[in-house]
Amino acid sequence: MLKPASFRDDFAIAAGIDPAFIARKARYAEGGQTLSSEHFTLRCISSASVKDLESVLANSEAVRQDLLGRLDRASLSVGGDAKVRLVFHGTTQEFMAATGQPWWAAAATQGTSIELQPLALLKRRGILLTTVRHEYAHYVIDRLSNGKAPRWLAEGLAAYVAGEAAMLASYKNPHPLSNAEIERRLSQASSPKEMRSLYADCLEAVEKLIRSGGEAAVWRQVATPVRSGQTAPILERTDRLKAGLGIAS
């Protein structure tokens, strides 16, 4: 099963299953189209125009450049140049079966693989490009943090990078939760409504960090996740050791 996906019910992904996609399943399950660009391969199992696929690839390359710039400004980088694989499933059912995600999740990212709901469905909901942005941000955040970034931070930063502020604005909690409380609720939430509200909280928490310390500091925080029980990022503790200041246990 893949790790945390993007829960995007407001996008009301298909209120269950779209019969049109089921009908296409037999025709495309075996085939699909595969295209690639310099840093991405894209597999689309349902029918889609080459123009749409090329647009997704161009968007993906642009997102990558954007993310590299953000990391550069934080004096960070992610090593390796493995291609990231985007897979648009043929049906919502196939997406659910492949990822273990609920029908209202738009996508799921693990390692270098980003699995998504059918391209036509995401396009119809108007979230095709933002979903790719969001998931690519997860890929970068996972690599930077070795998969150890707290979920509230990963989700909030991915939403920030994807430009989802306007979309989530109306779901903001009037009484902001602590980050620990957001994290706890994220692990227990089971309804799309609850997830949507928590995602707005994640974004709000990250925006607050950015307002106080700048975006670069947030990326550095991602790169040095604080383990539960620790009071300071690992890097800071190391630096203090190096400086001969010792560390209070």
| Residue whose beta carbon is closest to Zn ion | 6
Shortest approach of Zn ion to residue 164 CB, angstroms? Answer: 9
Residue number with CB closer to Zn ion (18 or 155): 155
Alpha helices in 14-49 (DSSP H): 19-28
Shortest approach of Zn ion to residue 227 CB, angstroms? Answer: 21
**CA of 107: how far to CAs of 27, 118, 133, 212, in Å?**
23, 10, 11, 31
What's the burial of 134, exposed, middle or buried (CB within 10 Å: 0-12/13-18/19+)? Answer: buried
Shortest approach of Zn ion to residue 26 CB, angstroms? Answer: 31
Query: Segment contacting Zn ion (CB under 5 A): 63-71, 142-150, 152-160, 173-181?
Result: 152-160
Query: Segment contacting Zn ion (CB under 5 A): 51-59, 86-94, 114-122, 148-156?
Result: 148-156
Give the residue from 121, 122, 201, 129 showing the smallest Cα distance to 168. Answer: 201
Distance between CA atoms of residues 228 and 249, nearest Å? 15
- The answer to whether residues 116 and 95 touch, using CB atoms and an 8 Å cutoff, is yes
Bridge partner list, 46: none
Residue number with CB closer to Zn ion (155 or 204): 155
Distance between CA atoms of residues 18 and 170, nearest Å? 27
- The answer to whether residues 24 and 47 touch, using CB atoms and an 8 Å cutoff, is yes
- The answer to whether residues 33 and 44 touch, using CB atoms and an 8 Å cutoff, is yes
Residue number with CB closer to Zn ion (14 or 158): 158
Residue number with CB closer to Zn ion (158 or 186): 158
Shortest approach of Zn ion to residue 218 CB, angstroms? Answer: 16
Residue number with CB closer to Zn ion (155 or 215): 155
Footprint of Zn ion on 95-114 (CB under 5 A): none
**Binding to Zn ion by residue 6, rule CB under 5 A?**
yes
Shortest approach of Zn ion to residue 83 CB, angstroms? Answer: 21
Binding mask 30-69 for Zn ion (x = CB under 5 A): ----------------------------------------
- The answer to whether residues 211 and 23 touch, using CB atoms and an 8 Å cutoff, is no
Residue number with CB closer to Zn ion (28 or 201): 201
Which residues of the shown chain bind Zn ion in the complex (CB under 5 A)? 6, 155, 158
